[in-house]
Chain A
Amino acid sequence: MSAPAATVPDERATLPPEQGGAAPRGRQGRDPRRRGLLPYAFLLPTLVVLLAALGFPLARQIVMSFQEYGLAQQFGREPEWVGLDNYEQLLTDGYLWTVLARSVLFCLAVSAVCMVVGIALAMLMTRIGRLPRLILQVALLLAWAMPHLASLTVWQWLFDAQFGVINWLLTTLGLDGFAGHSWLLNQLSFFVVAGIVVVWMSVPFVAFTVYAGLTQVPADVLEAAELDGAGGWQRFRMVTVPIIRPVLLIVGLLQIIWNLKVFTQIFVLQDAGGITRETNLIGTYIYRLGIGEGRFGLAAAASWFILLVTVGLSLYYVRVLLKEEAAS
């Protein structure tokens, strides 16, 4: 670490974390003492902001989860210590488990569809000419760029019971049952609509990232496989997938993390539809428990679930990812 050739900026070495944490090393022409404190000064504002916006709330969340903290406390009464009561109440209430299972199910289903559709579109992009590819890419970019709330508003309009174009289309196709059909009033069709919206928003990212990966697959390898008699599906499975595997893993991880915590989509559609109890996912459940009903202690305890589940899932996935990288 304290190599004498310190004037040679081995910036590459700044990357691997195992290089970090070493004692300051002197470079020519600089005051080592100043350098000793300077990095901390640079980090200080960031630390202050992160502590204020994330650190303190996290600590408060721990404290609150052990307290009876409801509307009375909101209006000044001292919060009461209740030990593990909040956790006990949550864990024994079947509703939390329902919401959790529902969230995981929704997340997995939507992520799977996003991956399949995204990969299919990316494959399609590699097989077509410049112009159709450009058209497809611009269309996907449009969906990607739309602010979430604007998208959700537009989809509500598309699915509007009375004047929505989707009900009109289905009725015109002869499915008369859809005349005036309210999609958001039924649990299953609520999630179908939510799923379609999420897929529509998320697929562009998957498609573009996978496409970028696919362009790295050498054409001669594919040709060689074809000459050896591999069919289209075989070439995809045996040649393409192994090469773009790291990309697929990262995109898959992001999809799972993002789809597990969908909040805006569900929240806005609930506002539009009216049923909440049958359609709550983790995010909206906590929001309605805390800010809706003012049961902050309970909501704080519930927040720990979403934190632990997501971070646990991500850590597991990150480990798989690291192993993959080490193996390759």
Chain B
Amino acid sequence: MIRSSRRWVLSTAAVLLAALWAFPVYWMINSSFLPQNRIRAEEPTFVPVDGTVAAYERVFDSGFFSALKMSAVVTLITVGVALVLAFLAALALSRFRFRGRRSFLVAVLVIQMIPAEGLFISQFKQLDAWDMLNTVGGLSLLYVATLLPFTIWLLRGFVAGVPLELEEAAMVDGCSRTQAFLRVTLPLLAPGLAAAAVYGVLQAWNEFSLALVVMTRPENMTLPLWLRTFTEANRTSDWAGIMAGSALIAVPVIVFFLIVQRRMTAGLVSGAVKG
């Protein structure tokens, strides 16, 4: 009796805490559908009763799509390049013994400890010197470098987890080394590559501070930069628009995250265990 009533108390507490944690997300979506007179009322409106999508239309007219394009391009390039490079490096590190291997592994670990904020002044100057400020290439270069250490570490675990006998058996059966790799090993690595890709997409899509440093021109803004500028411009006048902008950036990520989260965590864990 006491046990079950205690369980009820705990369950209620859990649901209340859930409501507390989810509230900002709910509030963003709710506010984005409210008309101006509801947003700027004495009493807040807790359900979007006179719902309207006018705020979204205002957002679409404010340079949202050019930022969306920029973010998409940078994310695609970053994740694509980072995956290929990290994969090759992981292959080298887990399938070969060579001089400098250990130093490289240590370097990969240490690099992950470097705080981005301790470097962005000199990264800014460096890109400036190479005329790469405000370019997709410049920002992608920095993003790839940020992603590489973790991605290498992750993929290394997966590559090490695929037994070499499988490849050798395929070669005995008449495959060339490349064929054996493509047909046998690569499919087994798919979960690892997927986990790394998901991680990279989230990082590149959400990143703010490096973009702030590197992309100084309005026409080169990524989505987070655009949202900041849009917020600054409309802070006093259009919170519905600002919330619509936030929702447009956040909701796809949230949906994506909810779908892949379990799989990704499983991937990360198994990679770590094997690695």
A residues within 8 Å of B by Cβ?
Answer: 1, 7, 9, 11, 14-15, 17-18, 20-25, 29, 35-36, 38-40, 42-43, 45-46, 49-50, 52-54, 56-58, 60-61, 64, 121, 124-125, 127-129, 132-133, 135-136, 138-151, 153-158, 160, 163, 165, 168, 200, 203-204, 208, 257, 260-261, 263-264, 267-268, 271-272, 282-283, 286-287, 290-291, 296, 299-300, 303-304, 306-307, 310-311, 314-315
A-B contact pairs, 13 of them (CB 8 A): A9-B163, A43-B104, A53-B146, A139-B18, A145-B256, A153-B246, A154-B24, A154-B25, A261-B117, A264-B208, A282-B117, A286-B120, A306-B117
| Cross-interface CB contact of A149 among B15, B171, B224, cutoff 8 Å | B224
Given contacts A132-B14, A142-B254, contact A296 B125 (CB under 8 A): yes
CA distance A264 to B123 in the complex (A): 17
> Closest CB of chain A to B157's CB: distance in Å?
9
Indicate whether B189 reaches chain A with its CB closer than 8 angstroms: no
> Closest CB of chain A to B96's CB: distance in Å?
4
Most buried by A among B7, B81, B115: B115
User: Helix, strand, loop or mixed for chain B's interface?
Assistant: helix
Top 8 closest A-B pairs, CB basis? A53-B145, A20-B102, A9-B164, A145-B257, A139-B18, A42-B92, A283-B117, A61-B122
| Cross-interface CB contact of A163 among B40, B118, B250, cutoff 8 Å | B40
Q: Is there an interface contact between B231 and A153, defined as CB atoms closer than 8 Å? A: yes
B84 proximity list for chain A (CB < 8 A): 45
A17 proximity list for chain B (CB < 8 A): 102, 105-106
Q: Is there an interface contact between B11 and A129, defined as CB atoms closer than 8 Å? A: yes
B242 proximity list for chain A (CB < 8 A): 153, 157
Q: Is there an interface contact between A311 and B117, defined as CB atoms closer than 8 Å? A: no
Chain B residue, CB-CB nearest to A44: B88
CA distance A171 to B202 in the complex (A): 38
> Closest CB of chain B to A139's CB: distance in Å?
4
| Cross-interface CB contact of B85 among A21, A49, A60, A151, cutoff 8 Å | A49
Most buried by B among A54, A124, A264, A315: A54
Per-residue contact bits, chain B 23-43, to A (CB 8 Å; 1 contact, 0 not): 011011001000000011101
Q: Is there an interface contact between A168 and B44, defined as CB atoms closer than 8 Å? A: yes
Indicate whether B235 reaches chain A with its CB closer than 8 angstroms: yes
Indicate whether B113 reaches chain A with its CB closer than 8 angstroms: yes
B208 proximity list for chain A (CB < 8 A): 148-149, 264
B79 proximity list for chain A (CB < 8 A): none
A146 proximity list for chain B (CB < 8 A): 24-25, 250, 253-254
Most buried by A among B22, B24, B161, B243: B24
B125 proximity list for chain A (CB < 8 A): 57, 60, 64, 296
Q: Is there an interface contact between A133 and B104, defined as CB atoms closer than 8 Å? A: no
Q: Is there an interface contact between A147 and B205, defined as CB atoms closer than 8 Å? A: yes
> Closest CB of chain B to A29's CB: distance in Å?
8
8 Å CB interface, B68-88 against A = 81, 84-86, 88
CA distance A38 to B261 in the complex (A): 36
Q: Is there an interface contact between B111 and A153, defined as CB atoms closer than 8 Å? A: no
Q: Is there an interface contact between A307 and B114, defined as CB atoms closer than 8 Å? A: yes
Given contacts A146-B250, A310-B113, contact A45 B85 (CB under 8 A): yes
Q: Is there an interface contact between B258 and A141, defined as CB atoms closer than 8 Å? A: yes
Q: Is there an interface contact between B88 and A45, defined as CB atoms closer than 8 Å? A: yes
| Cross-interface CB contact of A128 among B10, B89, B93, B110, cutoff 8 Å | B10
Q: Is there an interface contact between A149 and B145, defined as CB atoms closer than 8 Å? A: no
Q: Is there an interface contact between A129 and B160, defined as CB atoms closer than 8 Å? A: no
> Closest CB of chain A to B50's CB: distance in Å?
16
B11 proximity list for chain A (CB < 8 A): 128-129, 132
Indicate whether B103 reaches chain A with its CB closer than 8 angstroms: yes
Q: Is there an interface contact between B24 and A158, defined as CB atoms closer than 8 Å? A: yes
Chain B residue, CB-CB nearest to A303: B118
Q: Is there an interface contact between A147 and B253, defined as CB atoms closer than 8 Å? A: yes
B228 proximity list for chain A (CB < 8 A): 149, 153, 268, 271
Q: Is there an interface contact between B24 and A54, defined as CB atoms closer than 8 Å? A: no
Chain A residue, CB-CB nearest to B152: A46
| Cross-interface CB contact of A299 among B89, B91, B121, B142, cutoff 8 Å | B121
Q: Is there an interface contact between A147 and B250, defined as CB atoms closer than 8 Å? A: yes
Q: Is there an interface contact between B7 and A129, defined as CB atoms closer than 8 Å? A: yes
B123 proximity list for chain A (CB < 8 A): 53, 57
8 Å CB interface, B230-273 against A = 231-232, 235, 239, 242-243, 245-247, 249-250, 253-254, 256-258, 261, 265
Indicate whether B275 reaches chain A with its CB closer than 8 angstroms: yes
Given contacts A40-B98, A61-B119, A147-B250, contact A11 B126 (CB under 8 A): no
